[in-house]
Amino acid sequence: MSVVTKDKAVVLIGFPMDLGAGRRGVDMGPSALRIAEIEKKLRALGYEVIDEGDIVVKTQEIQRITDERQRFLPEISRACDKLAQRVKKVLDDGRFPLILGGDHSMSIGSIAGASAYCREHDLRLGVVWVDAHADMNTPETTPSGNIHGMPLAVSMGIGSPKLTSIMGNFTKVDPANVAVIGARSIDQGEVELIHKLKVPVYTMFDIDKEGVFTIVRKVLDYFAEHVDFVHVSFDVDSIDPTVAGGVGTPVPGGLSYREAHLLMEMLAESGKMCSLEVAELNPILDQNNHSATFAADLVCSSMGKRIL
């Protein structure tokens, strides 16, 4: 199990894709995070950092849409398969994968790679999904046809076989071992699937009522008993747009600056995080790369940075 520790190299994998999104620009997210000096900041914490560059993704301009319910499915499937293989290779080498996105369909590949590694080593995978959205639509329920609204459903075995079969025909994560934190924009089809699968979802209402500390403590206590390997999928739109507005699909009423850092600090403190991804940064909608700088600082919080 490749829990992040100072003696393990952190491998940066760029995934510059906006094919799954309805708005252009998130393909520049990996560059924005590099400009925000994410490598330098991690080195300052004592990590060895290896930047493996970006996975090649074909742009929208040289493709055509063959299925309006799953836009750009063939290329998303191909690119996510490449990402899955890369993530598993990093884990096989005893290193920590940090994936820089890119729209949230990237998680189809990230989670498939982590899950294949866990399957091979008899480990139980858990996923912490920090997002304003549930991302549990299917080709039947999607209001847009954008695959970045489907990756969590795919990872739980529901969706196109071209996506669910990446790295093998098995369910990548048990719905009971998923925790969605910060949701505040959920489609009706997703609501029905959440109830059907009994996926633990902690909305902003829950956070307002109970507080981030209580929610994250509850998740980590459950994971301590049921999970060996934790993949954290962090969508920057989980943060309130007044704090980080450079995102693909901003939704008012999100996590505050300190709530976000506390969440990440608690994940680091748990010692269970084994892989991490950052999704949906959109520099076109940002000012002075502020959101990417904030996201890079949050990554550092998840990797052990503290006030004292």
Q: Are 57 and 79 in contact (CB under 8 A)?
A: yes
Which residues make Cβ contacts (< 8 Å) with residue 198, sequence separation at least 6? Answer: 175, 176
**pTM exceeds 0.75 for this model:** yes
The DSSP symbol for 44 reads H
Q: Are 1 and 41 in contact (CB under 8 A)?
A: no
Is residue 134, in this structure, part of any structural domain at all? yes
Active-site residue (options: 235, 240, 259, 277): 235
d(CA 202, CA 207): 7
Q: Tell me the average pLDDT of the chain.
A: 96
User: Alpha helix (H) ranges present in the chain?
Assistant: 29-35, 38-44, 73-92, 106-120, 151-155, 161-164, 188-197, 204-210, 212-226, 257-270, 290-302
**Is 104 an annotated catalytic residue?**
yes
- Using a CB cutoff of 8 Å and minimum separation of 24, what contacts does 210-214 make? 212/255, 212/259, 212/262, 212/263, 213/262, 213/266
**Is 226 an annotated catalytic residue?**
no
Is residue 109, in this structure, part of any structural domain at all? yes
Among 57-71, 95-109, 235-249, name the one with the lowest average pLDDT. Answer: 57-71
Is residue 3, in this structure, part of any structural domain at all? no
The DSSP symbol for 117 reads H
**Is 81 an annotated catalytic residue?**
no
Is residue 261, in this structure, part of any structural domain at all? yes
Is residue 270, in this structure, part of any structural domain at all? yes
159-170 pLDDT, tens digit per residue, is: 999 999 999 999
**Is 286 an annotated catalytic residue?**
no
pLDDT band at 2 (very low <50, low <70, confident <90, very high): low
Average pLDDT on 227-249 reads 96
CATH of residue 157: 3.40.800.10
Active-site residue (options: 75, 133, 187, 190): 133
Active-site residue (options: 54, 190, 280, 286): 280
Active-site residue (options: 27, 104, 265, 286): 104
**Is 187 an annotated catalytic residue?**
no
Q: Which of 82, 118, 114, 120 is nearest to 98 (CA)?
A: 114
Residue 1's pLDDT is 65
Average pLDDT on 128-157 reads 98
Domain range spanning residue 207? Answer: 10-302
**Is 237 an annotated catalytic residue?**
yes
Residue 22's pLDDT is 83
Is residue 193, in this structure, part of any structural domain at all? yes
The sign of the dihedral angle between the CA atoms of 266, 272, 277, 279 is negative
Q: Are 95 and 9 in contact (CB under 8 A)?
A: yes
Q: Are 112 and 154 in contact (CB under 8 A)?
A: no
Phi, psi at 143, each rounded to 5°: -85, -10
- pLDDT score of 8 more than 70: yes
d(CA 162, CA 77): 6
Q: Are 292 and 246 in contact (CB under 8 A)?
A: yes
Is residue 38, in this structure, part of any structural domain at all? yes
Number of folded domains in the chain? 1
**Is 131 an annotated catalytic residue?**
yes
The DSSP symbol for 2 reads -
Residue 64's pLDDT is 87
Is residue 47, in this structure, part of any structural domain at all? yes
